[in-house]
Homo-oligomer: A and B are copies of this chain.
C-alpha cells in the first residue's frame, strides 16, 4: 500500500512542480509579487493578511486567493477590504496545489494587481509538499499551538522563507516558552522570524517592511 502511494506521489509532485513554475512565470510576467501563507488552523493567517491588506491600501494593488476545505468565511473577511479575492474550496483536500492556483489566477484581473497573497489550507503537514508558484512561502504559527510544534513539523519550516510567530501576547498566560520555539526554529530552519500579535497590531509593520518594502 505504501509503495503504491509513494510512486504515484512522485508523479503528482512532478506534475505539481511543473504547473507551479508556469504559475510563477505568469505572475512574474505581470510583475506581481506573490506570497504563500501556510500554517495551522487558528494560527491567525487570515487576520495577518487582513492587517497587511489594510496597511497596503492605496500603496499596492493587492489580490488574495483564499483556500479552505469548505465555506467562505475567510473570503468574506478579506472581501470587506475592497480587494480582489478568489475563494478555493478543496472539498476534502488538506492543501492547495498549483493546479488550483492556476484556475484561481484565471479568475483574477492580473492587470489590476501587483501583489498576490495566497492563504493555504490550515495544516502544518500537507501544504509543505505542494509548491504553488509563489515567490515566497512562509508559515504563520501561534504560541497557542504549544512550544513543541516546530520540532514536530520540521519540513514546513525548512521549505519556508519566513516564519511569523503570532499571538505572542498569549505566551505568558498560556505558559508557553517562546525561547523554546525560537531555539527549535534556529536549529531546524534558521530563517527570518517575525514576532506578531496581529489582533493588537503588534509587529505587523516590521513584517511588511521586510516582506514588501525592502524588496523595492
Of B8, B70, B155, the residue contacting A152 (CB under 8 A) is: B70
The reply on A215 being an interface residue by CB < 8 A is no
Stretch with Cβ within 8 A of B (4 or more), from A27-35, A53-61, A107-115, A142-150:
A142-150
The reply on A106 being an interface residue by CB < 8 A is no
Instruction: Report the bound CA distance from A213 to B158 in whole Å.
Output: 45
Copies of this chain, tallied across the complex:
2
1/0 contact string of A145-184 vs chain B (CB within 8 Å):
1101101111100000000000100100110000000000
Residue of B nearest to A153 (CB): B69
From residue A88, how far is it (CB to closest CB) to chain B in Å? 13
Of B70, B71, B125, the residue contacting A92 (CB under 8 A) is: B125
The reply on A73 being an interface residue by CB < 8 A is yes
Pairwise interchain contact B155-A42, C-beta atoms closer than 8 A? no
Residue of B nearest to A91 (CB): B155
The reply on A5 being an interface residue by CB < 8 A is yes
Of B71, B121, B152, the residue contacting A71 (CB under 8 A) is: B152
The reply on A21 being an interface residue by CB < 8 A is no
In the complex, which residues 116-134 of chain A have their Cβ closer than 8 Å to any Cβ of chain B? 121-126, 128-129
Instruction: Sort A-B residue pairs by CB-CB distance and give the 6 closest, nearest first.
Output: A42-B145, A144-B144, A94-B125, A73-B148, A42-B146, A41-B145
9 contacts between A and B (CB under 8 A): A4-B8, A40-B122, A41-B149, A42-B142, A42-B144, A69-B153, A69-B155, A92-B128, A122-B124
